[in-house]
A and B are shown apart, each in its own frame.
Chain A
Amino acid sequence: MTRHSHFHAHPHPPWPYALLDTTAHRPVPFRQFVLKVHGRCNLDCTYCYLYQGPDHGWRDRPARTSERTMRHAADRIAEHVRTHGLDAIRIELHGGEPLLTGPGPVLAYARAVREAAPAGCRVTATVQTNGTRLTAKALDRLADAGIRVGLSLDGGRAAHNARRVDRAGRPAWPAARAAAQRLAARPQTYAGILCTIDLAVDPLDVYRSLLELSPPGVDFLLPHANWDRPPPGTARRTPGRHRPHPTPYGDWLAAVFDAWWDEGRLSTRVRLFQEIAGLLLGAPSRAEAVGLSPVAAVVVETDGGIEQVDSLRSAYEGASETGLDVFRHSFDHALRHPGVAARQLGERALADECLGCPVGKVCGGGNYVHRYAPGTGFLHPSVYCADLERLVRHIAHRLQRTSRRNR
């Protein structure tokens, strides 16, 4: 048994922090660096896990990342690339809202990493934005610098985005729609749309309205939830693989899947569906939402703190903390952190219910964040367990019929 209490200031749950033995684990190097440009956002979305959730750590951090922090982060990334001989990495310029003060800080951060990275390592840079500050001029500058742009939207109409408002309650949609239109004219720069599922809106209307924005890819995200904070529209239960169980999110996604699958052409990439289909065909996943592939992402906060992914903040205060920072620690230190190691263990990080489940190798226990229960931690099925099984079985059925027809 290994204890890592020196890693953090906040109390973490027993699994993985006290119970997981990481000494036998062979870490997989990070290949995706989520770099916080701004720690604040101009929007106040009603469902935001970062600013409306249980973790308030953002209040204690700088609102923006200093040039000194950018340089240190870039040097640490370069060190990691050299140490592990990586030929390609991704950097995600994130927030808060990374374009809050214009594209300048995003461009500076990307430039710092590219200048520091060894020759021969390809750096793919993407900024994930709410679109409200993506002016034509800002987009030109990002495109000229080879930085891709991803949009966060909840659908392609004003009504779908009613929860995305600024602090005065004004809708983000008019500016976000203008940004989507600009991006549609720049397919080389358009990375895609991330859409958080809202059960209150019709799945087919959301899907078809998003297609009108011509994204090269869409991903549908389950709202961050866990056994303590159940998904919107569902009741709280003890952790477990409860059956039968309502599957509103699985039903919502299955409806979109059918529209996508039966379109007669590839209208857009849909990450979640493609990854589930790939897993059913025997391939490993590239997404943390499903499958058992090691997660290779790490976050650098505005103060230089090295953290686990932000979505963990939806679980409890301090859940993403590692106690490490780019000024004193290499990213190899973070690879030894029990929270990071737990996400690289594949089946060894699954609960007994998942190991015995016929769908377990495909859903992979779902997003790690959704497995949390207070007092015990992350060794549980996903709070979306039944929804995931519903979706996986639906896709398996459709895929099997199509594959047979083509054999």
Chain B
Amino acid sequence: MTLPTDDTHIRLPEITPPDHTDHPVLAAILAELRTREGESIVVAHYEDAP
């Protein structure tokens, strides 16, 4: 069940990417995001393809 109605207007936390992490999954996410930094535009792909 979602949060009660009154709580659903709470803003999401602002999360700054850490400079380094020992969390392996977060590290992989940060590495993946770095590969996108040189792209002029990031486009969305069709989800029925891997």
Chain A residues in contact with chain B, CB under 8 A?
28, 31-32, 34, 90, 92, 94, 126, 128, 148, 150, 191-194, 217, 219, 221, 241, 243-247, 250, 260-261, 263-266, 269, 271, 274, 277-278, 280-289, 291, 293-297, 309-311, 357-359, 362, 367, 386, 389-390, 392-393, 396-397, 399-400, 402-403, 405-407
The B interface is mostly helix, strand or loop, or mixed, namely loop
Chain B residues in contact with chain A, CB under 8 A?
1-5, 8-13, 15-30, 32-33, 36, 41-50
Our pick among A90, A278, A284 for the contact of B32 (Cβ within 8 Å) is A278
Q: Determine the distance from Cα of A11 to Cα of B43 in the docked complex, in whole angstroms.
A: 29
CB-based contact A32/B45 at 8 Å = yes
Our pick among B5, B19, B42, B48 for the contact of A286 (Cβ within 8 Å) is B42
CB-based contact A294/B41 at 8 Å = yes
CB-based contact B26/A399 at 8 Å = yes
CB distance from B7 to the nearest CB of A (A): 9
Q: Determine the distance from Cα of A269 to Cα of B50 in the docked complex, in whole angstroms.
A: 11
CB-based contact A31/B49 at 8 Å = no
Q: Determine the distance from Cα of A211 to Cα of B46 in the docked complex, in whole angstroms.
A: 23
| B28 partner residues in chain A, CB cutoff 8 A | 266, 269, 274
A-B contact pairs, 21 of them (CB 8 A): A32-B43, A34-B48, A128-B48, A217-B50, A244-B1, A244-B4, A245-B1, A245-B2, A281-B15, A282-B15, A283-B42, A284-B36, A285-B44, A286-B42, A288-B46, A295-B44, A311-B47, A311-B48, A403-B18, A405-B23, A406-B22
Which chain B residue shows the least CB distance to A285? B44
CB-based contact B44/A291 at 8 Å = yes
Our pick among B4, B26, B47 for the contact of A406 (Cβ within 8 Å) is B26
Q: Determine the distance from Cα of A246 to Cα of B3 in the docked complex, in whole angstroms.
A: 10
CB-based contact A243/B5 at 8 Å = yes
Contacts between chains A and B (CB distance < 8 A), count: 171
Q: Determine the distance from Cα of A403 to Cα of B47 in the docked complex, in whole angstroms.
A: 28
Q: Determine the distance from Cα of A402 to Cα of B16 in the docked complex, in whole angstroms.
A: 11
Chain A CB count within 10 A is highest, among B16, B18, B25, B32, for: B25
Our pick among B1, B13, B30, B36 for the contact of A247 (Cβ within 8 Å) is B1
| B24 partner residues in chain A, CB cutoff 8 A | 263-266
Chain A CB count within 10 A is highest, among B9, B17, B22, for: B17
* Known pairs A243-B5, A274-B29, A280-B15; A128 contacts B44 (CB<8 A): no
| A284 partner residues in chain B, CB cutoff 8 A | 36, 42
CB-based contact A92/B49 at 8 Å = yes
| B11 partner residues in chain A, CB cutoff 8 A | 358
CB distance from B30 to the nearest CB of A (A): 8
Our pick among A148, A263, A293 for the contact of B25 (Cβ within 8 Å) is A263
CB-based contact B26/A403 at 8 Å = yes
CB distance from A165 to the nearest CB of B (A): 20
